[in-house]
Amino acid sequence: MSTITLSATPKGNGYQATVSFPNGVAMSSAETYPTIAEALTAAALKMLDMPDRLEALDRTEEASGDHGRR
C-alpha cells in the first residue's frame, strides 16, 4: 500500500504546504497560508492536479502485486 503525506510546516507568518510521495519526491508550495487547514487543503488540491503521479502509484502497486489487501 502506498502512503502520500500532506503536511503543513511553519514558515514566516503562516504555513507551507507539502505533498510527499512514497518514492521520496516531495513538493512544497511557494506561498504560505495563514492556517494549517488552508495549507493542507492547498496540498490536497495540488495532489489532485497531478493525476499522472496518482496513476503511476497504481501501476507500481499492480506490478508489485500489492493491491492494498491485507
pLDDT band per the 50, 70, 90 thresholds, residue 70: very low
The pLDDT tens digits of the residues spanning 25-47 come to 899 999 999 999 999 999 999 88
What is the 8-class DSSP label of residue 3?
-
pLDDT at 34: 98
Supply φ then ψ for residue 11, to 5 degrees: -155, 120
